[in-house]
């Protein structure tokens, strides 16, 4: 077999100007940057100005048209970035094969071998014959099917030049074949990077864009992905990002918005930009699936997208978004990098990336941020759905909520996230607060048991808690005076029995199922101090500071269990005392709390 079977020759590979490919990539990058700048001006200036100064149908229509134009420019930015990275990746691969080829040609020249157009290599006489001692004749090495396997020479010692020539021929042919294969792969992907005709960018276009992004990511793995410091600390990632050129940052954002947007230690503004782009790609990807899980997930993603574009206050920052597990979403109200006070709330049981999360859990974070701003404008509040909270998909008999595994895994991720906030903060010592609600309090408790506790966290708030996995407040690593508990009288989750009590048959209502009995079977813990996950945080023996909250609605409504008291801790219209207490703690003003007696 010779090089004639490939459309590319070694001479063509040698002469490829990779720098021209990179210059073309730079041109696509500049086009994408202009589109991104246009989108930024539309979203941060024009739309904001219209909302703040104009009212009426005409203003609403103008905002809608601007939003559509912004999404068009976002699509242009995404596709230009993909073309740029594809060209840079192609240049990277071609340059690598050029290096292999040039080293082989240099070696052939040094040995006075002749390399022919078909890749074969002619070598001179050399060595000594076994019988007469004369130099063995020269010859031509050609490409064989299994490089490195040579026919036996019998009693005749092989010409050492033959082995060298064969190795050179194999390397030349291997480089050309690899380059030709890369050329074919990149050509196919680049031809697919085409937009539909027209000015609109519907979901199906983003579905295509998601496919384009996946294809370019596969091509760029060796060129870009390996450079992302996945296993580094938050501080190392921050320094890595600041050490990149503008062009390098733009390329990572265009091709790997999912990885950059979810990388702790990357500045929040950058994570927001990356995740907004990835949000559109996720919407497009899920819109192309059509199954029930995709429908539910799309409802949550579209509601987050709607809120991001609504221009509310405090401004929203999308610090994480993803489709793994039950879905991932991390949303901040206010920029946590520039805020003196930052609170991060971990939701609990039955939370997943769906419409209910996007409406209710985001509202809890927004309400907290608004409350914090009343005490200190330099504040931000975050909802962190960065783990798989337990679910009750088929009723209440779920073993996940009864165990610690999800909390332990989620706690490790939450600890890393908080460490990232500490690393990117503009303040040397920002005031950070971790808030756990329901099973989320168990997750926060697990996070504190990581080496050194939760990085940078000053205060911990536990509301609606079934226990946190430790028996004393001081075990949470911030000092007992910095652990705060809110437990409504009618919140059954704060009164679930201990495992030992459940095992002893002290819980009734068995007709509702084991899970329902655990959650609703006892309005009060018979033992008075032990919950499912350990010591009751609201009990005096735990040692936390309990703040005043509303009792909440009764535990029974129409003869059925009612958990409304479990859901109102953050809502200033339903439980003003609790919402204000959380805001006071999160802004470092816990001295102003109204305390409540322990259970």
pLDDT tens digits for range 410-450: 999 999 999 999 999 999 999 999 999 999 999 999 999 98
Is 301 a residue whose pLDDT tops 90?
Answer: yes
Highest mean pLDDT among 38-47, 62-71, 183-192: 183-192
Phi, psi angles (nearest 5°) of residue 137: -65, 155
Reported as a pLDDT band with limits 50, 70 and 90, residue 333 is very high
Report the pLDDT value the prediction gives residue 359, as an integer from 0 to 100. Answer: 95
Determine which of 157-161, 197-201, 309-313, 316-320 has the lowest per-residue pLDDT on average: 197-201
Nearest to 316 by CA among 303, 328, 324, 307: 307
**3-state DSSP call for residue 499?**
helix
Is 508 a residue whose pLDDT tops 80?
Answer: no
Task: In whole angstroms, give the CA distance from residue 13 to residue 8.
Answer: 7
Is 481 a residue whose pLDDT tops 80?
Answer: yes
Reported as a pLDDT band with limits 50, 70 and 90, residue 533 is low
pTM: 0.76
Pick the residue with more confidence: 488 or 565? 488
Reported as a pLDDT band with limits 50, 70 and 90, residue 148 is very low
- Of the chain, the percentage scoring pLDDT greater than 90 comes to 46
CB neighbour list of residue 159: distance below 8 Å, 6 or more residues apart: 123, 125, 126, 127, 135, 136, 137, 138, 139
Is 200 a residue whose pLDDT tops 80?
Answer: no
Is 478 a residue whose pLDDT tops 70?
Answer: yes
Reported as a pLDDT band with limits 50, 70 and 90, residue 511 is very low
- Of the chain, the percentage scoring pLDDT greater than 70 comes to 82
Reported as a pLDDT band with limits 50, 70 and 90, residue 150 is very low
- To the nearest 10°, the Cα dihedral for 498, 504, 506, 511? 110
Pick the residue with more confidence: 307 or 503? 307
Reported as a pLDDT band with limits 50, 70 and 90, residue 239 is very high
Reported as a pLDDT band with limits 50, 70 and 90, residue 529 is low
Determine which of 111-115, 434-438, 536-540, 579-583 has the lowest per-residue pLDDT on average: 536-540
CA angle 19, 24, 29 (to 5 degrees): 120
Burial class (CB within 10 angstroms; exposed 0-12, middle 13-18, buried 19+) of 20:
exposed
What is the tens place of the pLDDT at every residue in 350-372? Answer: 899 999 999 999 999 999 999 99
What is the tens place of the pLDDT at every residue in 202-236? Answer: 667 777 777 777 778 777 777 777 889 988 999 99
Report the pLDDT value the prediction gives residue 448, as an integer from 0 to 100. Answer: 95
Q: How far is CA 95 from CA 27, 115, 215, 348, in A?
A: 20, 20, 21, 51
Q: How far is CA 553 from CA 249, 363, 471, 576, in A?
A: 52, 20, 29, 15
Is 500 a residue whose pLDDT tops 60?
Answer: no
């Amino acid at each position: 077999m010779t090089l004639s079977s490939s459309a590319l020759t070694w001479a063509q590979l040698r002469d490829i100007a990779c720098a021209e490919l990179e210059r073309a990539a730079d041109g696509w990058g500049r086009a994408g940057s202009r589109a991104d700048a246009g989108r930024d001006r539309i979203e941060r200036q024009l739309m904001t100005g219209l909302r703040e100064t104009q009212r009426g149908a005409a203003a609403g229509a103008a905002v809608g048209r601007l939003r559509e134009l912004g999404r068009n420019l976002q699509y242009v930015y995404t596709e230009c970035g993909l073309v740029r990275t594809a060209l840079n990746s192609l240049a990277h691969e071609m340059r690598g094969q050029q290096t292999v080829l040039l080293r082989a040609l240099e070696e052939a020249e040094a040995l006075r071998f002749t390399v022919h157009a078909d890749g074969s290599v002619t070598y001179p006489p050399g060595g000594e014959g076994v019988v007469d001692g004369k130099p063995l004749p020269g010859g031509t090495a050609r490409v064989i099917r299994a490089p490195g396997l040579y026919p036996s020479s019998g009693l005749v010692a092989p010409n050492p030049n033959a082995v060298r020539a064969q190795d050179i021929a194999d390397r030349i042919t291997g480089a050309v074949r690899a380059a030709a294969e890369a050329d074919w792969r990149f050509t196919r992907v680049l031809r697919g990077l085409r937009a539909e005709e027209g000015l609109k960018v519907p979901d199906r276009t983003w579905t295509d864009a998601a496919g384009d992004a996946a294809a370019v990511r596969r091509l760029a793995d060796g060129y870009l992905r390996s450079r992302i410091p996945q296993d580094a600390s938050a501080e190392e990632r921050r320094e890595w990002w600041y050490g990149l050129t503008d062009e390098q940052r733009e390329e990572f954002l265009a091709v790997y918005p999912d990885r950059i947007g979810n990388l702790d230690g990357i500045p929040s503004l950058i994570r927001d930009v990356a995740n907004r782009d990835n949000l559109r790609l996720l919407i497009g990807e899920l819109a192309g699936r059509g199954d029930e899980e995709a429908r539910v997930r799309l409802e949550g993603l579209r509601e987050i997208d709607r809120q991001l574009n609504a221009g509310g206050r405090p401004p929203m920052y999308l610090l994480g978004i993803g489709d793994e597990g039950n879905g991932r979403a991390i949303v901040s109200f206010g920029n946590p990098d520039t805020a003196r006070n930052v609170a991060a709330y971990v939701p609990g049981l039955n939370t997943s990336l769906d419409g209910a999360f996007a409406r209710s859990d985001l509202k809890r974070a927004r309400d907290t941020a608004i409350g914090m701003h009343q005490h200190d404008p330099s504040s931000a509040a975050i909802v962190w759905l960065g783990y798989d909270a337990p679910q009750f998909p088929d009723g209440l008999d779920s073993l996940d909520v009864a165990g610690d595994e999800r909390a332990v895994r989620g706690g490790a991720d939450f600890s890393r996230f908080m460490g990232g906030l500490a690393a990117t903060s503009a303040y040397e010592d920002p005031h950070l607060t971790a808030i756990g609600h329901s099973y989320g309090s168990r997750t926060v408790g697990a996070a504190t048991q990581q080496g050194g506790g939760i990085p940078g966290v000053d205060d911990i708030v536990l509301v609606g808690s079934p226990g946190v996995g430790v028996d004393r407040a001081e075990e949470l690593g911030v000092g007992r005076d910095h652990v705060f508990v809110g437990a409504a009288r009618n919140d059954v989750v704060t009164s679930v029995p201990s495992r030992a009590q459940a095992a002893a048959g002290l819980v009734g209502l068995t007709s509702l199922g084991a899970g329902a009995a655990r959650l609703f079977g006892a309005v009060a813990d018979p033992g008075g101090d032990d919950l499912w996950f350990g010591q009751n945080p609201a009990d005096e023996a735990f040692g936390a500071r309990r703040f005043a909250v509303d009792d909440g609605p009764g535990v029974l409504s129409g003869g059925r269990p009612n958990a409304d008291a479990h859901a109102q801790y953050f809502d200033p219209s339903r439980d003003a005392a609790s919402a204000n207490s959380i805001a006071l703690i999160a802004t470092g003003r816990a001295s102003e709390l109204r305390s409540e007696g322990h259970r």
